[in-house]
Structure 1
Amino acid sequence: MTALAKLLRSTAFRLSLIYLAVFALFAGSLLAYIAWNARVIFMDQLVDTIEAEVQGLAEQYRIGGVARLAQVIQLRTRSPTNTLYLVTDPRGRQLVGNVAGVPDGTLGTSGLLRIQYKPHEGAGGGNHEAVVRVFALSGGYRLLVGRDVEERERLLDLVRRASALSIVLMIVLGVGGGTYVSRKVLARIDAISDTSRSIMSGDLSRRVALAGSGDEFDRLAASLNAMLDRIEQLMRGLKEVSDNIAHDLKTPLTRLRGRTEAALRQRDPDTYRQALETTLEESEQLIATFNALLMIARTEAGASGAEMGEVDVVPVVQDVAELYEPVAEEAGLALSLSLPERALVTGNRELIGQAVANLLDNAVKHAGPAHGGAIEVQVRHDERSEEIVVADRGAGIPEEARGRVVERFARLEESRSRPGAGLGLSLVVAVARLHGGELRLEDNRPGLRAVLALPRQSGEMGA
């Protein structure tokens, strides 16, 4: 496609032509109205002037007759003027005036006429155009008074030529401006298209360049870049999940196969039964791991199917705490709650409950009686969020490892001997991001304090 064809097919150029056509039509109509209105005003002024002249000269004729009328007209025609005067006797002969000749029949009519006349000697050759009125005086005399309209016609013609030139100049500048704007727009769009093609080719690191003007293209580019950052993050997460599955699930599957083969070699019913029970337990653990991975992936992609609505997190925390209270007592732990009357957020009750359950499960596993044996759960109000806090008195997590433990399958060395796949905190982080919140891991001195912050419902302040 040639550059000209590409320009003509662009939406920006077409819109520029449409705006130009509409504006040219409007401007042309406005100029035509101004010219017509100017002509009407000129004609009204001309008619009023002629009427005033006729009435004044008729009054002079009544006062002093033809002699006085001729004297007044001679006085008025001594200096150059565009007013026409002509007085004829009953036989049609010219008595006084500054008109050399008028078309036949003019003096026998009444009312306003537009005629071609011959000026008096010394006023220039050729016929001139004028608007005149013939007035019948007593005694058969005729009075012709008029105005030469050549100058006004030249002025109106000048206005018409200026209007036409303005419209032509406007069209030229409009087409040029439309072409320039279209090329600038096409350049920005081509940059976005080139970036998109590079990304489709596999280069996920490419981003749309910002011009720094803050216009709609910059806002679009910023939104696209944010979307691309999110896509790259999800793709990186998918790769990490694949790598983690390959490394962390290969071992239990290999162990499962080895135990099965060993049991087959023994040919003992008790050995078979024990191998089947072990296989069932490890299979359930693998299924739980895959389910957790699936939930994390869906939650991070925003496609978990979770419906958002008004949720009071206080009863959610109470329900989860009641479920884990027997587990905590069995482990020799004291579980305490500190809750307000209510704490409203916009979210999904099931996902928030799952996140709280993961935090409590993590606390029960790592806050044994040897470390104080206490787990504190509270809901507190922050400036813009409701915070669910689960604090234990266990060994805690070193500050340099807190960013790593929220990754999938990440486990500290001292946790390797405990059951689990290292997905609990990853799910909590995914739930927090889905709700626009965050998970903070803080030092409880001793132990770990996990804070799940969820944005407070608009206009709501907790009790």
Structure 2
Amino acid sequence: MRLNTILRQFVRISGFRLALRSLALSLGGACLVFVIIHHAAESTWRGQIDSNVSGALTDLLGDLQTNHRGLAWNVRTTMAEGNGLFYAALAPDGAWEAGNFRLTAPAAARWKGMETLRPRDGLSLPSRVDAVRGTAMRFPNGEVLFIAADATALRSLDQLISRSFLAVFGTIMALGLLGSYLAAHAVQRRVDAFATTIRNIMDGDLSRRIGLSGSGDEFDRLATGMNAMLQRIQELMENLRQVTNDISHDLRSPLARLREHLELSRARFSEPALTDMFEEALAQTDQALGIFAAMLRIAEVEAGARRAGFGMVALSPLLAMLAESYEPSFDANGITVEADIAPGLALPGDKELLAQLFTNLLDNIMLHAENVSRVSIHASQAGELIEVSIADNGCGIAAGQKARVMQRFARLEASRHRPGYGLGLPLASAIAALHGGRIRLEDNGPGLRVCIRLRTSLSAMRLGEDHSTA
């Protein structure tokens, strides 16, 4: 299964497919070269053998016309001259008459012009002779003459070329596959580096940049362009964040003074109408102050300054305390709280911020979830991760809205009559990211499950670590 997965990954790499195409072209070229070489060498040897056989046949036919002593006598005479060829003379009834090898009538009958025969074709050849090539001729009186030359070298040449072809073919294929693998592995490594950096940036670390190999290849050129783009994006985001922080700081002070004046004015006037107006003005001012406080809180968390004061936080007692403290409020609304918290859960972090994280999630259920009758809190440890889930059986959130509610000031309720600023989940997400984790919203069928994964290792929370597995 692992091998199939690796092969599927490589096949999807364009560099690997390009290398395979180059390998196929190389193998095709090698096949063409070997076919040409084989044809040229075999034709040369075959032509030389056929020329010798044809010349011997012509000489023997000339002797028959000259001395008229019969086929068998002329064959024996020619053999005595020792020209190295093979002869066989058969009587009209198929019986062997003369020659230096035995040839049966069925074998002679199979001859159609110049042919190559082996012992399996009914020949009785001397040792170290694997094949002969020659021709058979039938005379008007029924006699058959066969003349052939040793074709062992021709057959050996075929075998040599075949073995050489297989060796070269196999070597090219092995080297081609190795080269394809190395090329694909190099491409995959560079692409993985790109993907890791992009995931880190998506997780909020805008300072990450794609590493350069120094070769100046197309990946380096692409990385240089992307790094310049990322630098510009980081500058714009920092400017936007700074503007937001400055606005929050600058407006919070006058709003606080305005609230103080409203309090003093309400104390001086006792008319019911003015009192109601002051109460409404104070409520609106408090809401604005709450928004600015939440925005500054998110900016503080995202800056990562609180990480310097991290200490070991006993998470199990913290979750148990929150579940117990929220139980009366949930009971008053007809909601049952179920807690399944593994003992001994602990991680390096900020206890106040972690409490804020889970408080925001529980407040969201209290304020925004509809038709909820049961809330469950589950916490356990899996390797270097602590997994916490807070689930309800309410109406849940539509699939297309899950990403939107994690954005600042996002509200599912268009009228915005319910309390809240749309900053609870973004603040919870920022706290989780500060602790090397992330928040994911899932369906609970029906209802919503909020899954939080937090790291138990402080080193994994440092800048530059890959948060993609969280």
What TM-score do you get using the length of structure 2 for normalisation? 0.43
